[in-house]
Amino acid sequence: MKNLVLLIFNIIMLSIGNVGGPLISRLYFIHGGKRIWIPSMLQTVGCPIILIPLALAYFQRRKLQGPQAKVIFIQRQEFIASAGVGIIAGLDGYLISWGPAKLPVSTSTLINATQLAFTALFAVLIVKQKLTAYSTNSVVLLIVGSATLALRANGDRPQGESSKDYMLGFIMTFVGAVFYGLMLPLIELIYMKAKNAVTYTTVLEIQMVIGISATVFCTVGMIINKDFQAIPREASQYQIGETMYYVVLVWCAIIWQFALLGLVGVIFYSSSLLSGIIGAFLLPVTEVLAVILFHEKFQAEKGVAIFLALWGFVSYFYGEYEQGKKEKMMKLKKTESQMSQQLDMDQTSHVV
């Protein structure tokens, strides 16, 4: 029950980040923001907030165990692997930031949904994830749903955006979905290969390392691109005011951190594939909010993509429900068989 409650809590955090992240990033761009590396860095720069639950957990351990309470659980192997995943996360953050920069939120979000297919593929290759008929059907539906966008590619190009920039945003967002799909099973692999038992404290430490590594990667990009010098100038020219410029940046960092914390939690308590499925299920929410807040176009193709995403989500969870029932029956039969064998042995012993 405790694990279920924590799983639900992490799903809620992942949902807040997955819905709010693309919207707040788009808000930065539509009012005059032009730097790709800035929102990329903001996706992970909020990672120090993890120090709060880590500190609370440590003081709780110290209260129970005394001065010998362990401070850090992450091992050298997990640290190095997490730093490597962090570089992938930083690169992915840069790639998917092209979506809100050049595409409507509704379009970039639907393209990002293709990450589920890559998550499933890499999960099978890297962590030997077993796909049921239902989960395979879910992946196929989501792929087909995203592919429907190609029927009208460039048809919802924002006003003032060139065809070249639109297609660049389309391609970069798609490549970002590939890297995101790779990143999730790699995080799950770190848990599986850990030398010691992985606790939620270890998960937070791993996320901290990933966040720092990704932030350093994006900060280097900002330095090379001279984005730090451009921030004051961009803020002074921001269409809704200089103060709102910094407010948007701060909220961007906070909301994306919800997504990352929820992501590692869902992977820990369930699987990387489930985190991908949840992201796909949240598509309609993001779509509706994008249409309401930013007055984006909503063509029939997007409606079909959302319908298929919902169908895929239901298919996945129905399959999980059926698989759970099947496993429960198998365990029950195994227990009954063991009890029957024990009874036969007792009777035979009694006769002898």
Task: Render pLDDT for 107-134 as a digit per residue (tens, 0 to 9).
Answer: 787 788 778 778 888 888 888 877 777 7
Stretch 287-302: mean pLDDT: 76
Tokens of 253: 């960092």
User: Are 128 and 192 within 8 A, CB to CB?
Assistant: no
Q: Quick check: 205 pLDDT over 70?
A: yes
Stretch 63-73: mean pLDDT: 87
225 Cβ contact partners less than 8 Å away, ≥ 6 residues apart: 35, 37
> In percent, how much of the chain has pLDDT > 90?
31
The sign one gets for the Cα dihedral 93, 200, 266, 105 is negative
Q: Where is pLDDT greater, at 72 or 214? A: 214
Task: Find the range with the poorest average confidence among 10-14, 67-71, 301-305.
Answer: 301-305
At residue 225, the pLDDT reads 95
At residue 37, the pLDDT reads 96
Stretch 40-66: mean pLDDT: 90
pLDDT, tens digit (0-9, with 9 covering 90-100), for 87-112:
999 999 999 999 888 888 877 877 88
At residue 328, the pLDDT reads 77
Phi, psi of 237 (to 5 degrees): -105, 5
The sign one gets for the Cα dihedral 265, 266, 272, 278 is negative
Stretch 288-300: mean pLDDT: 77
At residue 347, the pLDDT reads 64
Q: Quick check: 71 pLDDT over 60?
A: yes
Per the prediction, the chain carries an average pLDDT of 84
User: Are 273 and 135 within 8 A, CB to CB?
Assistant: yes
Confidence of residue 345 (pLDDT cuts 50, 70, 90): low
At residue 352, the pLDDT reads 54
Q: Quick check: 1 pLDDT over 90?
A: no
At residue 36, the pLDDT reads 94
Q: Quick check: 154 pLDDT over 60?
A: no
User: Are 68 and 196 within 8 A, CB to CB?
Assistant: no
DSSP sequence for 283-314: HHHHHHHHHHHH-----HHHHHHHHHHHHHHH
271 three-class SS: coil
At residue 276, the pLDDT reads 73
At residue 146, the pLDDT reads 66
Tokens of 244: 């709102």
At residue 349, the pLDDT reads 60
pLDDT, tens digit (0-9, with 9 covering 90-100), for 162-204:
888 888 888 899 899 899 889 989 988 998 998 888 888 898 8
Tokens of 228: 């730090």
At residue 344, the pLDDT reads 64
346 Cβ contact partners less than 8 Å away, ≥ 6 residues apart: none
pLDDT, tens digit (0-9, with 9 covering 90-100), for 228-268:
999 999 999 999 999 999 999 999 999 998 888 888 888 88
Q: Identity (one letter) of the amino acid at 70?
A: K
Stretch 298-302: mean pLDDT: 71
At residue 308, the pLDDT reads 79
Question: How far is residue 85's CA from residue 211's CA, in Å, rounded to a whole number?
Answer: 9
Confidence of residue 325 (pLDDT cuts 50, 70, 90): confident
Stretch 279-290: mean pLDDT: 76
Tokens of 283: 């598509």
54 Cβ contact partners less than 8 Å away, ≥ 6 residues apart: 201, 204, 205, 208
Q: Quick check: 143 pLDDT over 60?
A: yes
DSSP sequence for 192-227: HH-SS---HHHHHHHHHHHHHHHHHHHHHHHHHTTH
Stretch 19-42: mean pLDDT: 92
**Residue pointed to by tokens 């930065």:** 28
Tokens of 127: 């962590």
Neighbours of 121 (CB within 10 A): 17
Task: Find the range with the poorest average confidence among 23-27, 81-85, 154-158, 161-165.
Answer: 154-158
